Amino acid sequence: MPKASVKRLIECKKDQLVDLVLDIEKYPEFVPFCLDSHVYERNKEGNQILIIADLTIGKGPFKDTYKSDVKFDKENSTINVTNIGGPLNHLENNWNFNETKRGTEISFDINFEIENKFLNVLMSKSFEFGLNKIADAFQKRAEDLYRPIED
């Protein structure tokens, strides 16, 4: 199963970055390889926000849609995502947010398995590169939206 993790320090407030990650409808505007998104449910239960959403991911002739269960735990500053439908046998990713004096440290871990064994091998080879491109996109989006303009 392909696995990877990324850590970044972003000069934004934790709440801003959590909002950015939970704004799934906007992913096609800035996330590489994300062609479409659709949120079916968004509920608040105590300190949690629960979301059911589809993402359509692709490049060139390859594209697939998968459905995810997204859980934001405000108390622990974490977002956990698991697949509940689509071309993946397994998907789990976790976001952790830790606010510091210099910004917010984000760590993002992901592991998944695609039903198609050939694509699984291909993804394993290029996955770290793709994950870094996605992390770059989130960081740039956060900086564009939230970082104050310096004179």
pLDDT tens digits, 48-89: 999 999 999 887 887 888 899 999 999 999 999 999 977 777
- Measured at the alpha carbon of residue 94, what is the angle toward residues 75 and 100, in degrees to the nearest 5? 55
CA-based R_g, the chain, Å: 15
Q: What is the pLDDT of residues 106-132, one digit of tens each?
A: 998 888 776 666 655 655 656 667 778
8-12, 90-94, 139-143: least confidently modelled range: 90-94
Distance CA 70, CA 27 (A): 14
Q: Which residues pair with 52 in a beta bridge?
A: 41, 69
How would you class 29 by CB atoms within 10 Å of its CB: exposed for 0-12, middle for 13-18, buried for 19 or more?
exposed
